[in-house]
Amino acid sequence: MSPAEFDRFARSYDEDLAKSLAVTGESREFYAQKRIDWTAQCVGHLGRPVRRILDYGCGDGANVPMLASRFDAEHVLGVDVSAESIAVARQTKAEPKMQFLCTSEWTPDGTVDLAFTNGVFHHIPPKERVACLEAIRRSLEPGGLFAFWENNPWNPGTQFVMSRCAFDEHAIKISPRHAKKLLSSAGFKILRTDSLFYFPRRLSFLRPAEALLRPLPLGGQYLVLCENAG
């Protein structure tokens, strides 16, 4: 099997990401926690119980303990195409309720309440994206939720950060409009779309305005929250 693109970034991922995010003044943890908190808030409004979570494209597994803790989940499974990234995740995040698998070892089994993905699909070749989304949908319970987070090509700050990021060289960005089309064609029903991260730390006094800007598709990242309608 040929090595996955992220095998060569698995050990330096944290450092590479920190370098590209430095311009925003915020850390990887800041963005990860905000994404997970916003996901939890949206899921909370729907009143759905979340016991089993999938983190698709989990990389080094950094989101997995954060998801487990924020949702008080019974089980969080991280899957990734990069065997090296899964090795790092297994070494650094060892807790009984957390599990890590390569996509080649994973069989979607319809038991997941909430699937989560962040910054993964712009690394998947366009022709393979729907098949990956269908696998995620098959992993979900009927009516199970999917939080699809992506970097927004309509935001100039995102364009700048990605242009300086070591592992984004081959990224093919996905607009919010295109994401919704892809998700619908894979059998998801779109529930809501929000965009976050408008202002860097030095403009943090403007962040209260983000609540008003959230429905516009212009933030640094966006969430499409959808459900398994298949």
Q: What are the residues binding ligand SAM (CB under 6 A)?
A: 4, 6, 56-59, 62-63, 80-82, 85, 103, 118-120, 123-124, 132
Task: Using alpha carbons, select from 196, 110, 103 the residue that is nearest to residue 158.
Answer: 196
Q: d(Cα 42, Cα 214) in Å, to the nearest integer?
A: 13
We find the least distance from the C-beta atom of residue 122 to ligand SAM, in angstroms, to be: 8
Q: Which is nearer to ligand SAM, 28 or 216 (CB)?
A: 28
Q: Minimal CB distance to ligand SAM: which residue? A: 59
Q: Which is nearer to ligand SAM, 125 or 142 (CB)?
A: 125
Tell me which residue of 103, 78, 48 sits closest to 227, measured CA to CA. 48
Least distance (Å) between residue 172 CB and ligand SAM: 11
What is the C-alpha to C-alpha distance for residues 139 and 110, in angstroms, rounded to an integer?
A: 4
For the CB of residue 216, give the shortest distance to ligand SAM in the complex, in Å: 23
Nearer to ligand SAM, 43 or 115 (CB): 115
Nearest residue (CB) to ligand SAM, 56 versus 197 = 56
Least distance in Å: CB of 194 to ligand SAM? 17
| 135 Cβ contact list (under 8 Å, min separation 6) | 108
Measure the N-to-C terminal CA separation of the chain; round to a whole number of Å. 32
